[in-house]
Amino acid sequence: MRRDKAVTEGITMLGRRKGYEIREGIVYLTFEGGQGRIEVMTEDIVNVFVPYEDSAHRSKAIVGEKNKHVWFEVKEGLDYLEIITERLLVRVYDRFMVDFYDREGHLLCADYRGNREFTTPISEKFVEILLAEGHEAPRDNGENYAVQVVKRMEGDECFYGLGDKTGVLNKRHYDYEMWNTDNPQAHTDAFKALYKSIPFFITLRENCVYGIFFDNTYKSYFDMGKERDGYFLFGSDAGNLDYYFIGGSNMPDVVKNYTYLTGRAPLPQLFSLGYHQSRWGYESSAEIRAVAEKYRALDIPIDTIHFDIDYMDGFRVFTWNEKEFGEPGKLVKELEKKGFKVVCIIDPGVKVDEDYYVYREGVEHDYFAKTPEGEIYVNEVWPGDAVYPDFGNPNVRQWWADKQKYLVDLGVRGVWNDMNEPASFRGELPQDVVFTDEERTSNHAAMHNVYGHLMSQATYEGLKKYDKRRPFVITRACYAGTQKYSTMWTGDNQSLWDHLRMAIPQMCNMGLSGLVYIGTDVGGFGADVTPELLSRWVQVGCFSPLFRNHSSKGSTRQEPWLFGEKTLEIYRKYIQLRYKLLPYLYDLFCETQKDGLPVLRPLVLHYEKDPECKNLNGEFLFGEDILVAPVVEQGATKKLVYLPEGTWYDYDTREKLTGGRYLIKDAPLEVCPMYVKAGSIIPNYPPMHYVGEVEVENLTLDVYPGEGTYIHYQDNGEDFAYEQGEYNAYECKLTKDETLTIRMLHKGYKKVYRYFTICYKGQKQKFEFNGESLTVWLS
């Protein structure tokens, strides 16, 4: 996009600083060319703001008051204004240059004082030749962005986060765009944008770490040192300059501070952490019934079956295809009796049909996006001509929330929001399509990146209102903060080894970006999976917070029994392992409510001083205690594994290993290398086909020699009673002298475990629990 030269100078147009004043805890700075402001949110979080478009933040990511009104003071320096918090020094110079230091005066992050060094502009003739040959035209980066911040590179930066971007873990020397995009082509490292816009990244340097959240919903751009090695930058086509500098002593602190700002994933229903089976498309009730029965017959645990668009009447949302799926709700209730929960897909596109109640209601109440001329905007998606609910309007969100009652009344347990970038079949929605931003008129350019976010919010609120249980919502498109409302998957991947390899750094960076409840389509959505690829993918899926097999029409079906006995055995093994580890996974979600740390983590999150972890793409941590190093290469039967410092135990062999080194692990097709940190206590469930089938009275604790403390959480796994104290918390403490003590930290849930089985050094012992405490001498 070419920009008017009058606005391309960005913040440099502000000129010399003339003065400042402090009002209501905010430092307002006056410059020759306008105003800027600095707001101290917490000791570690500082907002930098220039009201180019609007004097208000209008954040969609941040809900509620986040300013803690902490102490700070302001002092004049030689050529700067210094704002001092308990942990940061912020120095503001002419042209609204803003540098950040720690309290000891060590530089953390500084604005770049020079000009951008653009590459040679691309000639129109060259673009014509590329297009004629079927190539995409490269982006001409010969101008600044309308809103832009350029930061100096100190030389040792690594960059993480930015949501669901393709490629490797460390984003240094790459550039990306934030523009929610449904691209059906096979995703490669060259993709600038996918389905989600999370304009947050973490910068790790040798002696410091910090995050930056650029809260701007317009199309935005992030160049992490690709253009030149001397700087990195972020900018947007329009909107305000509105970014948050987020400090911390280490990477976990930065993630905690970012999720304090944008919100944390709530505790999910326990069933949703089980295994999910899906396909576009299961085209009839008979087909779904057969799939469900086969899973039970083959002793493969499963909780959830997903209904894709074929269950609807002509792809009309909030309707039922009675011809192929029978009486509305009958199949759902039949499956429920066998332990299955149903999740139904919902797209935002509403079919243009005067006889269709959802369309009529929306037209009557003026709930759909408009053209600039005032007509309802029409594009095409699955039902044909379709219109788009204006989710930026609170009344529309309430209307959409109330529509969830239709599904709840059928017995549906979750809603899967798709096509909500928003996607369309007749080209992208024009930038000037009229939407609403709460109480004011806006446009598609401003609301595009938050469309899926607002749809997810409406869905969450509707399920909470009518189902009363913790809402289970899945979304493809989202913005920063959507983790408060929904789980996410990485979209339409394909059955490619490259996509399996990419899944690890992609999910790790999503986790660092606040998106905790995430997964990929196991086996790949498009193309044709092989038995080997499916076997390796289920080993990654086993540890992904959202564990769903999903594939597309026209591709090989991916039910595991279709690939031979060996594949079936491997698939069963890792789904059974998932159910065994469910209490550990649930505990991680309990913790993420409190600290925002992800379930699936890059090693660098906990070992940021270890240079070997900074670019480690092929392994991850499942929580802090379990290290997983999946095989992601076709034909490989060995895995080069890096173990960080400390003592580790091979999960399968219980071999004791010293960390801080690489090792080669034998990994035939049925083995996914796993390691457990010394001193870990891992709770295990007994075998089950689905959550709720077995009443767990005896919890197994898998204990590894060392020293450590673990908190296990227990509640009913469904509703919000835990918020009123209806939960149990057990503290498990392991000492070096091989003593394990279990005691109740909190007792508010009636179903207290009656027994604990302790697995230690290959031996199992069962102990009765009196409801208060238990001490076991393990040696």
pLDDT top residue among 7 and 614? 614
Catalytic residue among 182, 242, 437, 492: 492
Given a cut of 60, whether residue 1 has pLDDT beyond it is no
Classify the C-alpha dihedral 443-444-449-455 as positive or negative: positive
- 358, 312 contact by CB (below 8 A): no
Cα–Cα distance list, 61 to 262, 450, 463, 480, 518 (Å): 5, 9, 21, 5, 18
- Looking at per-residue confidence, does 544 or 121 come out higher? 544
In the beta sheet, which residues pair with residue 705?
none
Whether residue 716 has pLDDT greater than 80 = yes
Distance CA 464, CA 562 (A): 38
**Alpha carbon distance 18, 506 (integer Å):** 45
Q: Is the pLDDT of residue 143 over 90?
A: no
Looking at residue 142, its pLDDT comes to 72
The per-residue pLDDT for 654 is: 97
Cα distances from 91 to residues 100, 109, 151, 244, 249, in angstroms, run 6, 11, 14, 15, 20
Q: Does 135 score more than 90 pLDDT?
A: no
* pLDDT score of 232: 98
pLDDT value for 128: 80
pLDDT of 3 > 80? The answer is no
The rounded distance, in Å, linking the Cα atoms of 512 and 490 is 15
Q: Which of 111, 308, 421, 461 is catalytic?
A: 421
Indicate whether 6 pLDDT > 70. Answer: no
The reported pLDDT for the residue numbered 347 is 98
More confident residue, 119 or 251: 251
> What is the arithmetic mean of pLDDT over 218-223?
98
Q: Which of 49-58, 124-133, 158-167 has the lowest mean pLDDT?
A: 124-133
Give the model's pLDDT for residue 287: 98
pLDDT tens per residue across span 659-704: 999 999 999 999 999 999 999 999 999 999 999 999 999 999 999 9
Which member of 44, 390, 418, 437 is catalytic?
418
Does pTM top 0.95 for this prediction? yes
Q: What pLDDT does 125 receive? A: 79
Antiparallel, parallel or unpaired: β 487-489 and 478-479: unpaired
Q: What angle do CA 614, 615, 616 make, to 5 degrees?
A: 100
Confidence at residue 118, expressed as pLDDT on a 0 to 100 scale: 85
For the segment 101-114, the average pLDDT, to the nearest whole number, is: 97
Q: How confident is the model at residue 126 (pLDDT cuts 50, 70, 90)?
A: confident
pLDDT digits (tens, 9 = 90+) for 348-377: 999 999 999 999 999 999 999 999 999 999
Q: Provide the H-helix boundaries in 431-564.
A: 444-447, 451-467, 497-512, 531-541
Residues 6+ apart with CB under 8 A from 544: 503, 507, 518, 519, 520, 522, 600
Contact (Cβ atoms closer than 8 angstroms) between residue 543 and residue 628: yes
In this prediction, residue 137 carries a pLDDT of: 67
Whether 354 is a known active-site residue: answer no
pLDDT class of 140 with cuts at 50, 70, 90: low
pLDDT reading at 5 higher than 70: no
Structure tokens at 115: 């000009």
Is the per-residue pLDDT at 4 higher than 50? no
Residues in a beta bridge with 261: none
% of residues, the chain, pLDDT over 70 = 97
Average pLDDT for the chain: 96
Mean pLDDT of 449-454: 98
Give the pLDDT mean for 623-649.
Answer: 98
492 tagged catalytic = yes
- To the query of whether residue 353 is one of the catalytic residues in this protein, the response is no
Contact present, 779 and 758 (Cβ < 8 Å): no
